[in-house]
Chain A
């Protein structure tokens, strides 16, 4: 089955450590996105990528980094510079960044807790 997979589902880290969240898709989509969701809030865009080897900052990119070395993969690193990293992280993909008439597919999310 085609889809988008995030791992792990739950992640615990100590404060000051960097952590990388995985996102893989087998939908042959060019565009991929990372969102952050805090309790009771909507999703906020962290980074997005239109195509391999290209990515752009979203609304809340500070303290995060990404790479897009392969079409299928868009890992997100939460660095120690992120002041409030505990949140629910969601990855998504769509056929193209500018395809307005298509849907986005979301992973099941990674819940990161920093202690």
Chain B
């Protein structure tokens, strides 16, 4: 199975950018990189996904390394509402059965 590695926790100040890293050295050429986040006591919500090129949406940006062995989720201005566990997940051609690791717990300080 394609695996991802993320730091257990990160801390940020409110209104500052946050860069959440993810390593996926065993990624195959057709695997998509997806990010989800989970707020306390809620179900996960989709954030962003990409294959090779960097991606932007209203929530965040996704920067994918040229060799695709790592990626970074960028929150441009962290707010208190962004405090959550962020999961980096590889979607393979085996299907959309998301495999969640431990994720990164982001703490945002006012």
Give A contacts to B, CB under 8 Å.
6, 31, 33, 35, 41-45, 48, 50, 58, 90, 92, 94, 96-109, 111
Contact = CB atoms under 8 A, between A and B. Distances in A.
B7 to A, nearest CB: 14
Contact of A108 (B32, B43, B92): B43
12 contacts: A31-B95, A33-B97, A43-B98, A48-B97, A92-B44, A98-B96, A100-B30, A100-B32, A102-B96, A103-B34, A103-B49, A104-B98
Contacts of A106: 43-45
Q: How large is the interface on B (under 10, 10 to 19, 20 to 34, 35 or more residues)?
A: 20 to 34
B17 interface: no
Nearest to A101: B32
Contacts of B36: 104
Interface of B: 30-32, 34, 36, 41-46, 49, 51, 87, 91-93, 95-103
B101 A42 contact: yes
Given A98-B93, A100-B30, A45 B99 contact: yes
B91 A100 contact: yes
A92 B43 contact: yes
A9 to B, nearest CB: 9
A31 B96 contact: yes
Contact of A45 (B30, B32, B91, B97): B97
A107 B34 CA distance: 18
A102 B100 CA distance: 17
A41 B103 CA distance: 9
B32 to A, nearest CB: 5
A97 B46 CA distance: 16
A93 B5 CA distance: 25
Interface core residue of A44, A58, A104 (most chain B CB under 10 Å): A104
Contacts of A98: 93, 95-96
B93 A42 contact: no
A71 to B, nearest CB: 16
